[in-house]
Amino acid sequence: MSDVYAEPTTGAAPTGPATLARYTTLCLGGPAGRLETASSAEEIVQKVREADARDEPILVLAGGSNVVIGDQGFPGTVVLLRSQGVQAIAEDGDAVTVRVEAGETWDDLVATTIERGWSGLECLSGVPGSAGATPIQNVGAYGQEVAETITAVQAYDRSHGEVVRIAAADCGFAYRGSIFKYSDRWVVLSVDFRLTRSPLSGPVRYAELARALGVEVGDRVPLADARATVLRLRAGKGMVLDADDPDTRSVGSFFTNPVLEREAYELLRERAADLGEPPSWPGAGDVVKISAAWLIDKAGFGKGHLGPEGVAISSKHTLALTNRSGTASTAALVALAREIRDGVHDRFGVTLHPEPVLINCVI
């Protein structure tokens, strides 16, 4: 499978040999203290052990599609994960368990599963980045999440200096979260996915996808149709990396959809009474998930809204903040994120939280 990470994944020019902007889809981030590349699970463990022995902070970086790295960069060791390999490790009736090395390109993996007739990842087509990062924030899109198919994660546990197997039930998967997010204890080495041998997708759960496929929610469609339609929908929103499209010089969604207790949700409805019903989805228990994109738009930050140094809200999707000029600083992007967060709070009393991992910067 291909390695799409080695060079800048979007248009902006690198600004120095160890400048981390080179390795992030935002094309932002200052220098690394030390930059190491690891091409196998053994090498990842070795590089991390060596940095720990030097008592240096470590940043594990794969596709760089979910990080915002400060202009000061990262003073410790950055380990670039480039391990490759996909292996069917178990078969059981219609189920096949596939072990995927952390550095595999996620979308190549999805394409492979579809070619082989393995159902379970098709709606996650086009998500940038690596397979090993998918458990970190329980990657999800168009009604699927990796938590539904991951059975276990092999990881290096820095606090005990050993490789461990963590069953899915112990990964703490939640909406855009897990025990791994904002923790530097574990380095994911490989991930096991349990997929189903079937020419058909799982039941389509996302209304927009069902409409685009011309089916009802709950129907199943050929795997290749699901993939093609998801890729088309994503491309229309600037959510598939494209070096020629500055709208994709982003981390995808910058803010998570707020999850509100019932009382807070009713307060929001009151404050938004003049704007109609806020789009929402029922959550587990008595909570309601609301659309961050709607809040941002209705607070007055529309598509294309410009910030300093040519950072901007994507012209295709209100939730993506972009380094449109390709020459902006992280400080400028963070200033735009703050403006939006504070504007939404002033208008609706709801606090937006960033989805990407912030490294040496705060909003």
Ligand X SMILES: Cc1cc2nc3c(=O)[nH]c(=O)nc-3n(C[C@H](O)[C@H](O)[C@H](O)COP(=O)(O)OP(=O)(O)OC[C@H]3O[C@@H](n4cnc5c(N)ncnc54)[C@H](O)[C@@H]3O)c2cc1C
Nearer to ligand X, 132 or 143 (CB): 132
Both structure tokens of 358 = 């912030």
Token pair of 113 as six digits? 């599963």
Scanning 58-98, the segments in alpha helix (DSSP H) are none
| Catalytic residue ranges | 176, 253, 355
- Of 87, 80, 32, the C-alpha closest to 359 is 32
Q: Least distance to ligand X from the beta carbon of 275, Å?
A: 26
For tokens 């935002």, the residue is 26
Q: Which among 110, 95, 168, 166 has a CA at the least distance from the CA of 141?
A: 110
- Least Cβ distance, residue 153 to ligand X (angstroms): 9
- Which of 138, 136, 86 has its CA nearest to residue 113? 86
- CB of 136 or CB of 272, closer to ligand X: 136
Instruction: Supply the minimum distance, in Å, between the C-beta of residue 276 and ligand X.
Output: 26
Q: Give the binding site for ligand X (CB under 6 A).
A: 25, 59-67, 81, 102, 127-130, 132-134, 136-137, 139-141, 180, 187-188, 239, 241, 248, 250-252, 357
d(CA 179, CA 185): 10
Q: Which is nearer to ligand X, 12 or 81 (CB)?
A: 81
Residue nearer to ligand X on the CB measure, 96 or 188: 188
- Measured CA to CA, the distance from residue 28 to residue 14 in angstroms comes to 9
202-to-118, 133, 226, 228 alpha-carbon distances in Å: 10, 23, 10, 15
Q: How far is the CB of 268 from ligand X (least distance, A)?
A: 24
Q: In this complex, which beta carbon is closest to ligand X, that of residue 129 or of residue 258? A: 129
SS3 134: coil
Of 111, 121, 51, give the one whose Cα is nearest residue 80: 51
